Structure 1
Amino acid sequence: MYRSQYQLGPISESTGVWLHHWAQTAPDRIFLAERSGAGWRSETYRSALQKVRSIAQVLLARGLGAHTPILIISGNGIDHGLLSLAGQYVGVPVAPVAEQYALIHVAHDRLRHAANLIRPKLVYTNDAGEYGDALDLDVFEDCEIVSSNTRERPGTVDFREFLKGCNGVDVDAAFAQLTPDTLAKILLTSGSTSTPKGVLTTQRMLCANQAMIVDSLPFLELRPPIIVDWLPWNHVFGGSHNFNIILANGGSLFIDDGKPMKELFKRTVENLSLIAGTMSFNVPVGFGMLVDALRQDEQLRRTYFGQLDMIFYAGASLPQDVWTALESMAKETCGTVPLMTSSWGLTETAPATMIQQEPIDRSGVVGVPMTGVTLKLVPQGDQLYEMRVKGPNVTPGYLGDVQKTKASFDGEGFFLTGDAMRFIDFGDPAKGMCFAGRISDDFKLLTGTWVRVSPLREELLDCLGSVAKDLVIAGADQADIGVLIVPNLIELNARGFILVEDNGALLGAALFKEIHQRLAVCNRAGPGGSTRVARALILSEPPSLADLEVTAKGNLNNRKILNRRGALLKRLYDSADPATMTL
């Protein structure tokens, strides 16, 4: 067993307790803010509590309760946040889903699945016009549709009506009935290994996780945190981890309406230039884009690093060159380097379970167990361990799926994560662990050699640099490792590569030469059979969200890609095929 030697700190009863505390302690402090014209629309803690209670009255007056969840199909926004807190305030679960499911027509089957699983009585969207096609789906025929922008859509209720409250409804009585076991949220898994499941998320999970985080990051109690954050609230990282770090510690969350995408990142840069945060959360590709922007703008560097306590990456390892660039710019700008760190967890663990809370000089370390959790390390050979978790932050199970719930826990009550880890120093567990991928993604070659997919993928992406957006590693029951490369077409076009499409693959002599050289460098660094890439093929068709090749989080579904593109996989192992590069 692997656990912290420290005791878990005090746990609040519910998220509403935090809201009451800060509305009394710092009533005029900004809690939530979103862009409005050239400035920001904001809600203080006092106004947020008032509106949450009014919305909660309306929810109760409509007969909503523990068995009538609210489905939210919008991106991040103040009204979205207030509605979520109102549901949690009186025991009405909220279920935010990825907005791509609504906005992309071919992904509507995912939205149907979510609706059939959750069975909402009320559906919220911030814009009834933008999401109109999704709202017309037959699964919503018996639902009340509420929107902050009705666009005069017939039958849609204006969210402002909810802000008026409802006299005669005893919201205090409903709040008093909450317990740590009260269901607060239903969060859908990404669906990377199966159909998305509804993770039951209780008040205890949310509140215990914040106690664990404060135990690990005590600077959160020294001054109110401020973040400028785009991470989506339908995902546990943005919607539970980051949102509640702000609420639990009396901070301010400025909603970033940009994203780490070429057409939207300028907005992120603008927002970061307006607000100096104390914490910065992002995925590695976002930090990579930010480094480029920071290099070009001295004033942005001064604002960004000016009062920064922590840089936190998640989703994958931060490339070392990005890590080094952030460190050097912070030191040049302010003379100090903020804590640069990551952690590990799942939707089912609310999420944070392990964290690297001490300064280190490299990426990829997820640290040690947080207070209150116990990890069971099940050996997988080669000093590799499957992680199993027990603690107050662990889900009681999945919505409407007793069998899956039962199968997700072992005989001692530990949740089966399916993730693998290695110790940084096998002789010193206090130095923590690094993530080693999903057990289900790993495979054996015909030689009997195990291929650990996640660390190899990170190494290959580092070698390939900007020419590749992502890749899928193949080789199960084959003699050697092959990769299907998802090219970065914007970069390739900018560099003038001449490419020819060939039935799902790309051909191009100059590109082949560059990729061959880069993979050869990687092979020389790791020449063993478990890491040496023998062949590669470049995909012409990007991974498809509609065909479930991409999860709602933006991750590749390796198994789905390999199955759906079986013909290309066959070509990859045909050395005579002109699309296949051999090394």
Structure 2
Amino acid sequence: MSPLFPSLHAAEPREAVRFGEHALTYAELAAAAAAPARRIKDAGRVAVWATPTPQTVVGVVAALVAGVPVVPLNPKTGERELAHIVRDSGPTVVLAGRGDQLPSLLGRLTRIDVDVDADVAADADADADVAVDAEGSPTTAGPALPPEPDDESPALIVYTSGTTGPPKGAVLPRRAIAATLDALRDAWEWTADDVLVHGLPLFHVHGLILGILGPLRRGGSVRHLGRFSVEGVTRELSAGATMLFGVPTMYHRIAEVVDRDVALAKALTGARLLVSGSAALPAPDHRRIAHATGRAVIERYGMTETLMLCAERAGGGARPGTVGAPLPGVELRLAEEADGIGEVQVRGPNLFTGYLNRPDATAAAFTEDGWFRTGDLASLDEEGQVRIVGRKATDLIKSGGYKIGAGEIENALLDHPGVREAAVTGEPDDDLGERIVAWVVPRDPQSPPEEHELTEHVARELAPHKRPRVVHFLTELPRNDMGKIMKRALHV
């Protein structure tokens, strides 16, 4: 197949990625990725310790150009969840930045330190192939990168929270990544002249595939903030960045100050494209940003298993509450439609190939005629715009840009010695979109655990963003005649 990143193979001299003061050109990125790519080409699968650093970019790119499936690991993941992911995916190598402190359970893996120091780029000529130009004269063709595999080869295995158990590994082929990024090129008029700024984590679809691999496929550049801040957004958009990717929590924080922050408003006004995703952006935040800047935030819709399904178009005008029309190549239908609302089901080249080691879950995720069941409920307007109205299930919580399964939090709570029963729900939150709420029946009603004790327990076991923000103590959980917890009956 053609390379995922043509500018990388051409070893172009323009900037590819920047983290603070540390920037890499395409030539430098190719040089830095070439050595680990050669070392891992027969590794089977590799893990990348996905910190918000250039080392993560080099590690992921090295695996992709080597044709080796890569498993991004969230450094904040709790020990139990991390152990499950490593056991399930079976990597033989972990790529990490020099100096990264890795948990002991990764000790059985071969560690390769990724180096992005300037002297690596200086060695590019030593790894360069000798080619000839049209007149037969020698020319430097860039570092010798391995030939890339076919379109159906797995590229990434991204773990997504299930609603009733541990995370499942969605196997994303190279075909899906290319199809999604090329469809967004058309929808957003995305070119090599665009400079993207974002501060998203690099272990999931939004931050890694859209935010890092998207600019690299276009031959443009990305400036990562390391950690999101309004000041960082202002600085980078004022210094030539043309696009901003964020989740509703980030745009909410922007909306809170944009009407009194002149520099921020000016920076946003100068951006070509402002994109929000991972959950619905509340209409009040849409209005505040548009009023202060004259610039609308557009939305898109996708999930780990499908990558991007829909997007509002550049120049098409944002419509709060909608996520645009299906992208080129995506087929979308509403199943079991009632009152104009049905479950979103899709098929197309952007879909994953299945859940790793879970043929049962893979089979259940598709209809008999081959459509993927998203579990989302939506309606279509007369112009084909999609409006997401909710979930078929109540157990997937969208908080701070993350999709979080209630079941795994319940399991963690039940492991606490002071908890007899537990249920987890989501409730609206102006900042996070939804906040995680735990409903707990203590083992000793006269001496229940402290709320902070339970929230810290979940953060240690799973990840900080999965901790409940509110804990309610009950004498019993509401159940139906079959003994199933009735979550819709849970309220204060």
What TM-score comes out, normalization by structure 1 length? 0.65
1:282 to 233, 246, 265: 246
Map 1:127-142; keep pairs closer than 5 Å. 128=99, 131-132=101-102, 134=103, 136-137=104-105, 140-142=106-108
Question: Please, what is the CA RMSD of the aligned residues?
Answer: 4.1
Whether the 8 Å CA contact 1:31–1:43 is kept in 2: the answer is yes
Instruction: Give the match for residue 32 of structure 2.
Output: 51
After superposition, the C-alpha distances for 1:55-94 in whole angstroms (9 at most, x for unaligned) are 312323xx42xx2x11122312212111211111121111
Structure 2: state its 5+ residue gaps: 130-141, 397-424, 440-445, 480-489
Query: Structure 1 residue 395: deviation in Å?
Result: 0.8
1:161 to partner: Cα distance: 8.7
Residue 113 of structure 1 and its aligned partner are, at CA, apart by: 0.6
Determine helix, strand or coil for the equivalent of 1:185: strand
Partner of residue 518, structure 1 = none
2:390 is the counterpart of 1:421: no
1:177–1:295 distance in 2 versus 1, CA, 3 Å: closer
TM-aligned CA deviation for residue 244 of structure 1: 2.4
Cα distance in 2 for residues equivalent to 1:213 and 1:557: 35
CA contact (8 A) 2:81 2:462 kept: no
Matched, 1:435 2:406: no
The 2-side partners of 1:546 and 1:360 are apart by 45
Contact 2:301-2:310 at 8 Å conserved across structures: yes
Q: Is the 8 A contact 1:258 1:267 kept in 2?
A: no
Amino acid corresponding to residue 34 of structure 1 in structure 2: F
Deviations 1:111-155 (A, max 9, x none): 1011101111111233645x34x1x12xx3431123459xxxxxx
1:491-537 deviation digits (Å, cap 9, x = unpaired): xxxxxxxxxxx9879xxxxxxxxxxxxxxxxxxxxxxxxxxxxxxxx
2:276 corresponds to: 313
Change (3 A) 1:126 1:53: closer
Q: Which region of structure 1 is more displaced relative to structure 2, 433-442 or 340-349? A: 433-442
Q: 1:14 to 1:368 in 2, by over 3 A?
A: same
For 2:347 and 2:329, locate their aligned partners in 1 and report how far apart those are by CA, in whole Å: 9
Superposed CA deviations along residues 539-567 of structure 1, whole A, max 9, x for unmatched, are 95598485489986946899xx99x9664
> Which whole-Å CA distance do the structure 1 matches of 2:114 and 2:31 have between them?
18
1:124 aligns to what? 95
Larger helix proportion of the pair: 1
Work out which of the residue numbers 207, 220, 225 in structure 1 matches 2:178: 207
- Greater strand content: 2
Identity %: 21
Equivalences for residues 130-529 of structure 1 within 5 A: 131-132=101-102, 134=103, 136-137=104-105, 140-147=106-113, 175-176=146-147, 178-217=149-188, 219-221=189-191, 224-259=193-228, 265=229, 268=232, 271-272=235-236, 275-306=239-270, 308-331=271-294, 337=295, 339-349=296-306, 351-357=307-313, 359-360=316-317, 362-423=319-380, 425=381, 428=382, 430-441=383-394, 461=428, 470-471=434-435
Count of aligned positions: 437
C-alpha distance in 2, partners of 1:198/1:295? 42
Conserved? CA contact 2:96–2:114, under 8 Å:
yes
| Residue in 2 that maps onto 1:513 | none
Kindly indicate whether the alpha-carbon contact (under 8 Å) linking 1:14 and 1:179 is maintained by their aligned counterparts in 2: no
d(CA) in 1 for partners of 2:464, 2:326: 25
Q: Is the 8 A contact 1:55 1:165 kept in 2?
A: no
Match of 2:15 among 30, 39, 51: 30
SS at match of 1:365: coil
Aligned with residue 73 of structure 2, among 97, 111, 117: 97
| 169 and 215 in structure 1: CA distance in 2 versus 1, 3 angstrom threshold | closer
Name the CA distance, whole Å, in 1 between partners of 2:145 and 2:119.
Answer: 22
**Residue 169 (structure 1) shift:** 12
User: Are the counterparts in 2 of residues 256 and 271 from structure 1 also a CA contact under 8 Å?
Assistant: no
In the other structure, the counterpart of 1:113 is 84
The aligned counterpart of 2:487 is none
Q: Is the 8 A contact 2:65 2:148 kept in 1?
A: no
* Rounded Cα–Cα distance in structure 2 between residues aligned with 1:200 and 1:166: 35
In the TM superposition, residue 110 of structure 1 has moved relative to its aligned partner by: 0.7
C-alpha deviation, 1:383, in angstroms: 2.3
Aligned to 2:23: 42
Counterpart in 2 of 1:13?
Answer: 2
Q: SS of the residue aligned with 1:441?
A: coil
Q: Which moved further from structure 2: 87-96 or 223-232?
A: 223-232
Question: Residue 43 of structure 1 aligns to a residue in which SS?
Answer: strand
Report the alpha carbon displacement of residue 32 of structure 1 after superposing the two structures with TM: 0.5
Report the Cα offset of residue 211 of structure 1: 1.6
- Output the CA distance in 1 between the equivalents of 2:343 and 2:219: 37
